Amino acid sequence: MHEQEYIKLTLLAGIYILLFTYEQYRPYFQQRKGHAQHSARNLFVAVINAIISALFMVIAISQTSQWALENNFGILNQLNLPTIYTYLIAILLIDSWQYAWHRMNHVIPLLWKFHRVHHSDKDMDASTGLRFHPIEIIYSNTLRIAIIPLAGVQVEHLIAYEIILLPIILFHHSNIKINENLDKLLRIIIVTPHIHRLHHSNIKKETDSNYSSIFSIWDRLFNSFTMRSIETEFELGLGEKYSAKEWNSFKGMLAIPFRKD
Ligand SMILES: [Zn+2]
């Protein structure tokens, strides 16, 4: 495993433990009973996804990006810029792709069937940030195999991006109460818990907005930014039909895409 991969995993575990602890003391939504079991179920799916990615995707992605470098293929390889600019542009390119891809997951019905596993969590917390259907992980990564050489992005750029992305993903999914002014300040640059909470609201118009991952600019640029005060009441998830216990078990989550409704 790449040395940076260890940094990524250690960072992920550390930030997760911090947020999980903070969620106990200052939750935005009152914690329901069984919070620990809920997190454990989501983390179990996350581990399965990490294993799938490590076994099938990491080598394919590193080989295609290496091929692009050797053949001077893709935007970044053509530009031939100093390292620091290459990293900056790579991070912006990947984040803009994440935005576009996330938006497609909401707009294209077949993709939404799988992506709704992530949205069906009525008790969103930091662990929800890692709850995705394994088939969504497989096709997202397969598409990356094509996108990465086109952008000329290298594995080290991708890992740098993930080192920034993962703490922010956990942070903006976490069920923590933070001061509205702090959220306002942070949201100028990054996706905050309140921005992303609205993306998980049970009101469709809000779910179909706020698609950005790291930088909030993409939603503002492409007219999909939604905001309302932190103080207003709202519910998360996709309504009662997904909140039954059976749909939140490991088997239930895997079955959600194949539901008729
Ligand atoms: Zn979404």
Residue 235 Cα to ligand 1 middle (Å): 15
Residue 31, judged by CB atoms within 10 A of its CB (0-12, 13-18, 19+), counts as middle
Residue 99 Cα to ligand 1 middle (Å): 10
pLDDT for residue 2: 65
Region of residue 74 (left: phi > 0; alpha: psi -120 to 50; beta: else): left
Please state, in angstroms and rounded to a whole number, the distance separating the CA atoms of residues 22 and 42: 18
pLDDT for residue 57: 76
Residue 105 Cα to ligand 1 middle (Å): 7
Please state, in angstroms and rounded to a whole number, the distance separating the CA atoms of residues 82 and 23: 41
pLDDT for residue 198: 94
Residue 208 Cα to ligand 1 middle (Å): 8
Considering 70-74, 99-103, 136-140, the range whose residues carry the highest mean pLDDT is 99-103
Residue 194 Cα to ligand 1 middle (Å): 14
Whether the pTM exceeds 0.85: the reply is yes
Q: Choose between 73 and 47: higher pLDDT.
A: 47
**What's 208's DSSP letter?**
T
Percentage of the chain lying above the pLDDT 90 cut: 53
pLDDT for residue 131: 94
Band of the pLDDT at 144, cuts 50, 70, 90? Answer: confident
Residue 157 Cα to ligand 1 middle (Å): 24
For the segment 96-116, the average pLDDT, to the nearest whole number, is: 96
Residue 70 Cα to ligand 1 middle (Å): 36
Residue 44 Cα to ligand 1 middle (Å): 20
Mean pLDDT computed over every residue of the chain: 89
Residue 203 Cα to ligand 1 middle (Å): 13
pLDDT for residue 191: 97
pLDDT over threshold 70, residue 88: yes
For the segment 118-132, the average pLDDT, to the nearest whole number, is: 92
For the segment 24-30, the average pLDDT, to the nearest whole number, is: 87
pLDDT for residue 138: 92
Residue 119 Cα to ligand 1 middle (Å): 6
pLDDT for residue 68: 79
Residue 51 Cα to ligand 1 middle (Å): 22
Least confident of 42-46, 131-135, 201-205, 245-249: 245-249
For the segment 103-119, the average pLDDT, to the nearest whole number, is: 95
Residue 211 Cα to ligand 1 middle (Å): 6
pLDDT for residue 46: 93
In the block, which residue shows the tokens 């530009």? 79
For the segment 47-74, the average pLDDT, to the nearest whole number, is: 82
Element (DSSP H or E) covering residue 149: helix 134-151
Residue 167 Cα to ligand 1 middle (Å): 17
pLDDT digits (tens, 9 = 90+) for 175-209: 999 888 999 999 999 999 999 999 999 889 999 99
Residue 80 Cα to ligand 1 middle (Å): 34
pLDDT digits (tens, 9 = 90+) for 220-238: 999 999 998 877 777 888 8
pLDDT for residue 1: 60
Provide the residue count of the chain. Answer: 261
